[in-house]
């Protein structure tokens, strides 16, 4: 096997068989069937809203009758970079957890940050409406509502709706849209044509950024179609299946966000280095060491290429290498990052590591921390990177907890006395003030696995045990479940072994996240694909009295692992439409032939509690003993019927109809029972103008008459005076 993990065809077949062995072949019939959170359908935001009966502007935008499309133009529509939010009790617990993950992506990739509402005049109130929708920009209405309803709990969907709230319209409504895509008007569902309007650059700015087929704000090619043919045809055919991605921010999405909010750096981003520049990102050789890390494109004994480019680009492709083959026993080499200034007090260090050194040679991670007592810095040991030498670039995560100015230090040491041609190599280093993923599952030769695994056949990650003592694994169908060829299907399963103790069953409020990592060298440019699911201890299996998330020894089946050990696997919970093969083969999801899945299990039980209100605010929610269920807040709307497509929301404790607004019409009234149109306004304006004109004419006529009468009186009086003068002047 070479450094990229490639194998001969015969070995590849054996590799696939080993993945399938003891997992999905000849397994006992499960006691409880897997649950698909999407119902087997890959619904976009606009599909969800249409099924909910919502007729919103551009599918997911709420307008009021005062609003025009200049939200992105005026400074008054921008939020502060620290945005207050309030999560309503009616939100699903899984949605709350994913919302917090979306906030972390905003912090990592932009200067936008979020804080719990503490009494600010304007804030975003996130609730579970009947779909996914938002207003555009800061409307200065105090409590501005944003809906994350059923099936809206994907991270990209949440990021999309918050981009609306931050002031962005859809990409295909730009003034220059028709230069890049063709709208097939005859394929659009009747009455939905207005969703494809464009708006000139006097009312909606593109901020000088080129048209972006890859924007998460772009419609998919099938948006609002009336049949099976696409409604949007890209003028560059290669982008036909690119538009409408719901994975992550594109580079252009972030560029526009940075320009609108004058961002210079991500709030939690610290550093990234792929060593392509000779200045090695400001890193320095440590003092007192006896050897150096050297920037190279190839090293004796391996690796033959870097990991950033894998040798694809001539004249580039560098990494840092400490040659243990030429070092003496006991020699160390220190590579130190530039000075870094933490804010949060916790960090995640991520890097790729190639070990071709001797079996006893080591790589250790330190931080050098600076304070008044240690102005020159003091080294503190963090972790030794374990693992025997492999012909493979391996991904590693190290959690740090630096609270003062610091540097990250990589210490390579030649320990063994024997000679070796290799050494220790580093590439694609990223550091951010975020939490590290807990587990890594690397699937080698993934393209071959996708193309050659039979449909409805699963492979499984190793079982991973969380900090709380619960064990889970990811179940992946490389060629989809039955009826979903060309898809990746992904499910999370709880696992238990005989003798396991200390867990509470049914498993309460653990959120499992399955992320297919985009292996771009720079963490801020990654568009990873992820889905999260949460264990609800009250959930019953379909058609059964058994709890879905109960002890796998009770509701699961016994399976045999590849090493011969036995354990129990519970039912799977996930989606048949995790990602299409087409998207999985794009970007850097597969690199060097391999795919990397980052898996976590987090306790989210704290999200079952109501978010505290500011001290001066009256309670907006009655107490509830089951906060994961819809509360009386949503029940208030059960007896309110909004007409003409209006949406009932609870505002300041009272149910209120939010009326639909179109391009040339709007509904109003306490139940949206009245309709107003531009024609009505025109007629009213014309009538008003004519009335004013009529009054002015009457006033003018009266004024003229009065002046004439006054003039006649003055003339008559003057004549009488003249006559008297003549009379008095007679001899």
Q: Which residues are catalytic?
A: 161
Query: Between the CA of residue 516 and those of 474, 476, 585, 590, 699, what are the distances in Å?
Result: 11, 11, 12, 9, 77
Helices (H) and strands (E) counted in the chain, each on its own, are 10, 34
Residue 332: which of 415, 426, 408 has the closest Cα?
415
CB 321 within 8 A of CB 306: no
Annotate 96-155 with three-state secondary structure: HHHHHHHHHHHHHHCCCEEEECCCCCCEEEEECCCCEEECCCCCCCCEEEEEECCCCCCH
Task: Report the alpha-carbon distance of residue 417 to residue 711 in Å, rounded.
Answer: 125
CA 124 remoteness from chain centre: 17
Cβ burial 508-540 (10 Å sphere, 16+ → b, else e)? bbbbbbbbbbbbbbebbbbbbbbbbbbbbbebe
Residue 454: which of 427, 484, 432 has the closest Cα?
484
In a 10 Å sphere around its CB, with 0-12 CB exposed, 13-18 middle and 19+ buried, how is residue 360 labelled?
A: middle
Task: Report the alpha-carbon distance of residue 413 to residue 316 in Å, rounded.
Answer: 28
Task: Report the alpha-carbon distance of residue 496 to residue 268 in Å, rounded.
Answer: 36
Instruction: Decide: helix, strand or coil at residue 365.
Output: strand
CA triplet 458, 459, 462: central angle to 5 degrees? 140
CB 329 within 8 A of CB 414: yes
Relative to beta strand 123-127, strand 82-87 is parallel
CB 464 within 8 A of CB 488: no
């Amino acid at each position: 096997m070479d450094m990229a993990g490639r194998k001969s065809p015969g070995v590849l077949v054996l590799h696939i068989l080993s993945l399938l062995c003891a997992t999905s072949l000849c397994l006992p019939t499960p006691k409880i069937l897997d649950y698909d959170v999407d119902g087997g359908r890959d619904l976009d935001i606009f599909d969800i809203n249409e099924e909910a009966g919502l007729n919103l502007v551009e599918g997911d935008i709420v307008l009021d009758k005062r609003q025009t499309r200049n939200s992105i133009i005026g400074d008054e529509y921008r939020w502060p970079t620290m945005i207050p939010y309030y999560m309503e009790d009616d939100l699903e617990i899984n949605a709350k957890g994913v919302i917090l993950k979306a906030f972390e992506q905003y912090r990592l990739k932009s200067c936008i940050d979020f804080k719990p509402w503490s009494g600010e005049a304007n804030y975003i109130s996130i609730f579970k409406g009947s779909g996914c929708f938002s207003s555009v920009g800061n409307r200065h209405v105090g409590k501005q509502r944003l809906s994350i309803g059923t099936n809206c709990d994907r991270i990209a969907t949440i990021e999309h709706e918050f981009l609306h709230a931050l002031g962005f319209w859809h990409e295909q409504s730009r003034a220059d849209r028709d230069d890049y895509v063709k709208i097939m008007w005859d394929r659009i569902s009747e009455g939905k044509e207005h969703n494809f309007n464009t708006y000139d650059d006097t009312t909606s700015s593109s901020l000088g950024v080129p048209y972006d087929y890859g924007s998460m704000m772009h419609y998919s090619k099938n948006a609002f179609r009336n049949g099976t043919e696409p409604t949007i045809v890209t003028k560059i055919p290669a982008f036909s299946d690119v538009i409408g991605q719901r994975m992550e921010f594109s580079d252009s999405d972030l560029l526009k966000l940075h320009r609108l909010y004058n961002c210079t750096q991500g709030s939690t981003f610290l550093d990234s280095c792929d060593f392509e520049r000779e200045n090695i990102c400001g890193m320095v050789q440590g003092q007192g060491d006896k050897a150096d890390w050297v920037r190279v494109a190839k090293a004796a004994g391996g690796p033959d290429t870097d990991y950033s480019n894998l040798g694809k680009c001539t004249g580039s492709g560098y990494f840092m290498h400490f040659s243990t083959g030429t070092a003496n026993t006991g020699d160390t080499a220190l590579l130190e990052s530039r000075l870094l200034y933490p804010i949060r007090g916790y960090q995640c260090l991520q890097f790729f590591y190639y070990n071709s050194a001797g079996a006893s040679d080591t790589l250790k991670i330190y931080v050098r921390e600076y304070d008044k007592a240690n102005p020159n810095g003091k080294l503190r040991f963090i972790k030794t990177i374990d693992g025997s030498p492999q012909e493979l670039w391996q991904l590693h995560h190290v959690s740090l907890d630096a609270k003062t100015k610091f540097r990250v230090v990589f210490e390579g040491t030649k320990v063994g006395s024997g000679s070796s041609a290799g050494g220790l190599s580093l590439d694609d280093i990223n550091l951010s003030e975020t939490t590290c993923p807990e587990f890594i599952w690397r699937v080698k030769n993934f393209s071959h696995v996708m193309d050659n695994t039979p449909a409805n056949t699963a492979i499984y990650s190793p079982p991973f045990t969380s900090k709380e003592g619960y064990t889970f694994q990811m179940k992946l169908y490389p060629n989809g479940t039955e009826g979903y060829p060309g898809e990746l299907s992904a499910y999370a399963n709880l696992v238990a072994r005989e003798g396991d103790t200390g867990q509470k069953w049914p498993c309460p409020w653990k959120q499992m996240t399955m992320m297919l990592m985009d292996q771009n060298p720079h963490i801020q440019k990654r568009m990873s694909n992820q889905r999260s699911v949460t264990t609800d201890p009250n959930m019953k299996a379909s058609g059964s009295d058994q709890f879905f998330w109960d002890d796998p020894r009770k509701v699961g089946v016994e399976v045999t692992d590849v090493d011969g050990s036995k354990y129990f696997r519970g039912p799977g919970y996930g989606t048949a439409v995790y990602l299409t093969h087409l998207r999985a083969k794009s970007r850097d999801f597969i690199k060097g032939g391999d795919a990397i899945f980052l898996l976590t299990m987090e306790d989210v039980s704290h999200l079952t509690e109501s978010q505290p209100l500011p001290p001066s605010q009256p309670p907006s929610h009655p107490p509830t003993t089951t906060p994961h269920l819809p509360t009386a807040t949503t029940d208030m709307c059960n007896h309110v019927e909004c007409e003409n497509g209006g949406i009932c929301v609870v505002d300041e404790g009272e149910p209120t109809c939010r009326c639909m607004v179109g391009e040339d019409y709007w509904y109003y009234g306490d139940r949206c029972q009245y309709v107003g149109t531009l024609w009505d306004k025109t007629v009213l304006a014309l009538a008003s103008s004519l009335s004013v004109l009529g009054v002015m004419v009457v006033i003018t006529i009266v004024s003229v008459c009065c002046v004439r009468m006054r003039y006649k009186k003055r003339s008559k009086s003057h004549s009488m005076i003249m006559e008297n003068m003549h009379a008095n002047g007679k001899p």
